[in-house]
Amino acid sequence: MAKKAVKKAAKRPVYRLNDPTDEQMTPPQRALRDAISSGPRGIRKRMTGPFAIWMQAPEYGDLAQRLGAHVRYGTSLSPRQSEFAILCTGQKWKAQYEWFAHEPMALKAGVKPQTIKDIKAGRTPKTAQKDERAIYDFVQELYKTRRVSDKTYKRVHAVLGDRGTVELVGVLGYYTLISMTLNVFRADLPDNAPLPFAEPA
């Protein structure tokens, strides 16, 4: 009699830091917490993800979170374009928390569910809108070759212009920073949510 295959539970990374309690926080840590809580993200509960990690280096964390607030809310990219680019970056880095946080935001911003499914699986998103396909090819080429060809650049530039193309590179760079931060310190997902990606063995 053949043995029944047993599905292995997904390996869950163990968070590498100890978050300070409110009572343990230094003045710079409190200032960072308050800046994040009062900012456009609207975080009012316990800090998680990169924000919790930055509590260990609050002066750096404050600069990073201010750049992040601008990248998320202050560029000329539409929320749909921005969230699409963020998902492409999260998928490249297999950043669990980044995908967990931004998949619902991308859906809300208008990225099609099938497009999101394809990006997550590492497939070319054939259902993506024309501007998303230009951004997708730009992202893939930049991460693969560390350069962008004239043809690929012109397609994105036709959609975003000078300012938007500069800002797109900023979005990709910032969320690469976020992805590295989340992966190095193994940020866990709230409420033990399922991992979007398989962890390496």
Structural domains for the chain: 80-186 (1.20.1290.10)
Between the alpha carbon of residue 3 and those of residues 13, 106, 127, the distances in Å are 29, 42, 41
- Given a cut of 90, is residue 140 above it in pLDDT? yes
Residues 6 or more apart whose Cβ sits within 8 Å of residue 187: 15, 48, 49, 50, 52, 53, 96, 97, 181
- Given a cut of 60, is residue 5 above it in pLDDT? no
- Given a cut of 60, is residue 122 above it in pLDDT? yes
Confidence of residue 6 (pLDDT cuts 50, 70, 90): very low
Confidence of residue 8 (pLDDT cuts 50, 70, 90): low
Instruction: Compute the radius of gyration of the chain from its Cα atoms.
Output: 18
C-alpha span between 39 and 54 (Å, rounded): 16
Between the alpha carbon of residue 120 and those of residues 84, 179, 181, 192, the distances in Å are 11, 15, 20, 20
Number of other CB atoms surrounding residue 82 within 10 Å: 24
Residue 47's pLDDT is 85
- Given a cut of 90, is residue 51 above it in pLDDT? yes
Note the pTM of the prediction, 2 decimals.
0.91
Mean pLDDT confidence for 55-65: 97
pLDDT digits (tens, 9 = 90+) for 179-197: 999 999 999 998 889 999 9
Mean pLDDT confidence for 113-134: 98
What tokens were used for 79?
Answer: 């929320």
